[in-house]
Structure 1
Amino acid sequence: MEEASLFSTGKFGRFGGIFVPETLVTCLNKLADEFNLVLHDSHFQAELAVALRDYVGRETPLYFAQRLTNHYKNCNGQGPEIYLKREDLNHGGAHKINNAIAQAMLAKRMGRKRVVAATGAGQHGVATAAACAKLDLDCTIVMGDVDMERQSSNVLMMKLFGAQITSVQGTFKDATSEAIRKWVEDLDISYYLAGTAVGPHPCPTIVRQFQSIIGKETRKQAMEKWGGKPDVVVACVGSGSNALGIFHEFIGDEDVRLIGVEAAGAGIDSGKHSATMAKGVIGVYHGAMSYLLQDDEGQIIGPHSIGVGLEYPGVSPELCFLKDIGRAEFYTVTDEEALDAYGLVCRVEGICPALEASHALAYLGKLCEGLPNGTKVVVNCSGGGNKDAKTVLNYQLEKQIASHTCTSH
């Protein structure tokens, strides 16, 4: 699987591709050509490096979670060593800014005046709005009304950064459809800034490439800390940007386990989940082929997760390919397990992880049981959980009320 062929075809095995109207193909091909140029443009890369350092705040720490490590030790005091890649410390509070600032720079280079983006949990929206404010680009963020209510603090931040917010009925999948429609209205001046590793080529490759800084730093920092590579790398999986961001650097290292954790929601067999790898079948959605949550008639099944950023019915074509060839493993975690991990990491490390990242952290309970003493495990803490405090509090209150009601009866 050579890089050059991916840029020209956008295919990862049977996944990916360009399933869009002919009018969009020319525009996407221009984007692919420009992307290829900036990859080898020393001036662009130097400007990006400065922005990542001075604006985003990179590099982010590879943090040894001592108390979390102790929590998962067995009765003999043995267990793996757990490290967190602290993407929550980036400007904007998540990994999303890595890609947003790079693509906003690309949009400006292409002469585009207006950026359009869709967001679910709001982190990509905040990152895009911030990047556009920095680079003096008009910014329109499309967000589902359900998500706007759940992530009101991020909506406020986007407005403060000067973005125009467009509400649509539904969630992230609906916002994505509307954002693409807005982009198509004026292809000459608009730029669709994808935040997820999905969609038609070259969007998944662009997002993965600009997020791969996470894995590159992780390799360097691991070498500095213990003189080797991680043994296991764990990341939550919604559509795939943070997982590929840390996985991609290690795909060629067969001795490094790559573990993606999906949202099982109310339960993997409940019908209320976002476990596309576990339950999806192959189909085309938003311009690319991947695993999809769909019914027998091919209609999209609405995804569910307590982590809003994991609610998408499809998933990265590249991750689908890694699953098919057995290079990456995928497991699921329920809402309740993720909420428990959120609370645990807050209490034992004084770090508040996003509910999305909490899915990856929740899987440690099962993972650590089978790992040899001293195994180096790196979990991508893809975002901060301040945005989720209200959701967690409401869940706890509802649980207390339910428990009290049961006790009373």
Structure 2
Amino acid sequence: MGHLKQFPTKDGFFGEFGGAFLPPQLEPHMKEIADAYERLAVDGSYIAELRYIREHFQGRPTPVQHAKNLSEKMGGAQIYLKREDLNHTGAHKLNHCMGEGLLAKYMGKKKLIAETGAGQHGVALATAAAYFGLECEIHMGEVDIAKEYPNVVRMKLLGAKLVPVGFGGKTLKEAVDSAFASYLEQADTALFGIGSVVGPHPFPRMVRDFQSVVGFEARDQFQAMTGNDPDHVMACVGGGSNAMGLFSGFIDNEDVKLYGVEPHGTGTELGKHAATMTYGKPGMIHGFKCMLLTDENGEPAPVHSIASGLDYPGIGPEHSYLHSIGKVTYGSASDDETLKAFYALSKYEGVIPALESSHAVAYAMKMAPQHPGESILVNLSGRGDKDIDYVTEKFGFGDDFEL
């Protein structure tokens, strides 16, 4: 039996990770979502409508590009990009947001509620809400609102109500806390649109399934382009939705090596990185068990990344399981390496990547010289429009950049 059919279990576990550890008042609502998804995942009309949306609204399939100039600069392996930045709204997030919006419509819900970090999930969910005629409420940390202002503008234009989160670290973890609290009061009429392969069951499975279109497309496209499968497949990992989407197309192929790239930030001390696999241990957060960065009191630790979409102390339970069995290699890229990749792809390929995606590009740039004659497929999970003001104001235009 293939991995995707084997995991998760009916209770939402990937090995020891996952599950649904919820306050009693939320249990019936999560069961309602799980039951609805189980039913609709094999419903022909639901699947047909989602496929129509992907082709005629999202613009799928997105292409695979050979990054020829960057490959020549780095030497060694040939680097390819799965261009999720060309998906409508500029990132992979719409793949699961349209699925969640359609699920809400079929369930008779009136509103979508979610957290967002970099703002891409918030924009995508606000887009889905507008498309399906639903209300939308997005919770976002005040730090991220300042960093990712272009996405704040987009969410408001799309009709979403933006709720600033000003407690704790004022970033992604606190946005999740705030959104969950709000959902608790509205669960009868609203659907929580979790933004990654995290949270209680059924969300890790549901979001992975919606994102698997990325991996299945990429596998077929790469074979059509080259006649082979890629040797190495990699994606950035915060919660891990874009990575699980890409990995889904290759996870049962023993000849393809998989890599998740985490943010190593500016140092090894707690609060200077979000490298959960490197420094974390099993723990509980937001209703599920996963690898987790914790402080001296065992609480979720403060984290940092130059990329707002990656600064989460936990990680998806499926990633935690794949790490525990050695199926996926989890590496990291620092803020400096990420910036270098951001400038490199912009200047050599004419593609301005999101800072999140730049982590995976940075890892590919490190790997390429060591693997001559091989191929690396990177998920370019989002475009950098949202990051250009922050990057240029803080770091400049890369005029002095060179490899």
TM more than 0.5: yes
User: Scaled by the length of structure 2, what TM-score is found?
Assistant: 0.95
The verdict on how the C-alpha distance between 1:107 and 1:37 changes in structure 2, with shifts beyond 3 A counting, is same
Letter in 2 for 1:353: P
Q: Within 1, Cα distance between the matches of 2:271 and 2:159? A: 38
Cα RMSD of the aligned pairs, angstroms, is 1.5
Letter in 2 for 1:359: H
Q: Within 2, Cα distance between the matches of 1:377 and 1:129? A: 33
Aligned to 2:265: 265
Q: Within 2, Cα distance between the matches of 1:233 and 1:399? A: 28
1:228-247 correspondence runs (5 A): 228-247=228-247
> What SS does the corresponding residue of 1:157 show, helix, strand or coil?
helix
Aligned to 2:15: 13
Letter in 1 for 2:377: V
1:19-168 correspondence runs (5 A): 19-73=21-75, 79-168=76-165
The answer to which of 265-274 and 147-156 deviates more is 265-274
The answer to which of 346-355 and 17-26 deviates more is 17-26
Aligned to 1:336: 336
Q: Mark the runs of 5 or more structure 1 residues left unpaired by the alignment.
A: 74-78, 401-409
The verdict on how the C-alpha distance between 1:265 and 1:2 changes in structure 2, with shifts beyond 3 A counting, is closer
Q: Within 2, Cα distance between the matches of 1:399 and 1:357? A: 18
Q: How many residues align?
A: 394
Q: Within 1, Cα distance between the matches of 2:252 and 2:385? A: 35
Contact 1:213–1:245 (8 Å) recurs in 2: yes
Q: Within 1, Cα distance between the matches of 2:187 and 2:91? A: 29
Q: Within 2, Cα distance between the matches of 1:7 and 1:127? A: 29
The verdict on how the C-alpha distance between 1:399 and 1:14 changes in structure 2, with shifts beyond 3 A counting, is same
Report deviation, 1:8.
1.2
The verdict on how the C-alpha distance between 1:301 and 1:348 changes in structure 2, with shifts beyond 3 A counting, is same
Q: Mark the runs of 5 or more structure 2 residues left unpaired by the alignment.
A: none
CA offsets per residue over residues 24-64 of structure 1, 9 Å max, x none?
Answer: 12211121111111111111111000101111110000011
Aligned to 1:225: 225
Q: Within 2, Cα distance between the matches of 1:280 and 1:226? A: 38
Q: Within 1, Cα distance between the matches of 2:338 and 2:50? A: 34
User: Scaled by the length of structure 1, what TM-score is found?
Assistant: 0.94
Q: Within 1, Cα distance between the matches of 2:177 and 2:158? A: 23
Aligned to 2:365: 365
Q: Within 1, Cα distance between the matches of 2:219 and 2:7? A: 25
Report deviation, 1:394.
2.3
Q: Within 1, Cα distance between the matches of 2:196 and 2:396? A: 33
Identity of aligned pairs, percent?
43
Q: Within 2, Cα distance between the matches of 1:10 and 1:229? A: 30
CA offsets per residue over residues 310-340 of structure 1, 9 Å max, x none?
Answer: 0101000000100000000011111011001
Larger Rg over CA atoms: 1
CA offsets per residue over residues 361-407 of structure 1, 9 Å max, x none?
Answer: 0112321122131x12100000000111112112325999xxxxxxx
Aligned to 2:388: 389
Contact 1:143–1:168 (8 Å) recurs in 2: yes
The verdict on how the C-alpha distance between 1:326 and 1:12 changes in structure 2, with shifts beyond 3 A counting, is same
**Alignment of 1:179 onto 2:179:** yes
Contact 2:229–2:256 (8 Å) recurs in 1: yes
The verdict on how the C-alpha distance between 1:326 and 1:365 changes in structure 2, with shifts beyond 3 A counting, is same
The answer to which of 96-105 and 387-396 deviates more is 387-396
Contact 1:7–1:32 (8 Å) recurs in 2: no
